[in-house]
Structure 1
């Protein structure tokens, strides 16, 4: 089974540049890869964010390739990627959904909205806080990557409103392609990872030791191994000959 390319979908408030290390590594290995900006982020700053518009952004990127792709999303991008794969299953040969193993339930989303509005009310709309957190929690290279496309400081109301209607468990149940659920050991969005795994027809759970929410930035080597494993498996000429699912790492 061939894979025409890899499409990367970023997390909330970040942009395509959070995937620079992964895109560069795949390109150097002769793979076709593209990272996109969702509405309201990066080059599309100022546009309203909607879930349908985000799915359309993924669809536009997939259309650049002549064949099915591996879709890789993190956090917001993970939820969007799950939705895309459920709506367009024939276009997806595999899905890596990172840092998105918790349902966007109404009460937690309301709490996040209150926190986001409080941050947005700061004199700089939270720009300094974003920079501070990136510099304190990431390596210098990762902090530069995540900041390179700018931080979307005014999207949280739109994102939280739209994502409260997302149905990731039902969507995962509609996806027949293999799915990799990848979470950092200390990610606060892994509270329902076993339930998410059970919803998959062909799912694998990987928990990366030492990593937090931004698992691709915290542990780029480990995340790269997951991508390579996914590519090997989906490119197997005979899926029956591909290795079986591997267990979660450090699932505590």
Structure 2
């Protein structure tokens, strides 16, 4: 188990999915956690941690609101005396994918507010607190949708592409502060955001087809993404900075292709040789 004993972390989007898994994982690794979400269920997550002897505080907040993010940083310093880690994980899909001619500016603005401005605010307010105690790690949840089109709605994809550039810019901007800034790009993960797709697959008997396009032939879990966030937040990743780490089972390692039957390929080659021979 990665050890971050004595560290203090803020995790947004903490009521479910990747954020919930991260709260549990970070607490098990020794950190004190400020668990943040606009869902009141975040209190239940914290109750599980404190009930098991861990240190955690719940905060209902809006991850795209400047005042709320500052308040979360202030709470970390007031409650636990410092801030070492900010995992800016909260995000929204923006609803069903809309054609460019159907989506409204208001819909785009809300996705960008949560998914891109939220991480900017996390960096803005976490950095001064981290400087006061000698450094820290900021991790932001991006997506493979920010790397290639076709993995999410247009507004969501654009926001996640912005996140990837944001962490690179921030890493450069934090030079000589000992503050590292990195992103994680999950592929298909079973979370609240993808629940309807998983529910549909279960209902139609197609669960085994979820994630079939990646080499591991399965979707990922929230814990598999949270474990990468834990690594990036720890001293084990002390020389990892300004990166977008892909966690997708290998989906983006190649362009989409159809798996070929070796016997069919052999037969086709033999037929071609016969044709050449006349």
Question: For this structure pair, what is the TM-score category when the shorter chain's length is used for normalisation?
Answer: 0.3 to 0.5
TM-score when normalising by structure 1: 0.44
Say which structure, 1 or 2, has more relative contact order (CA 8 Å, 6+ apart).
Answer: 1
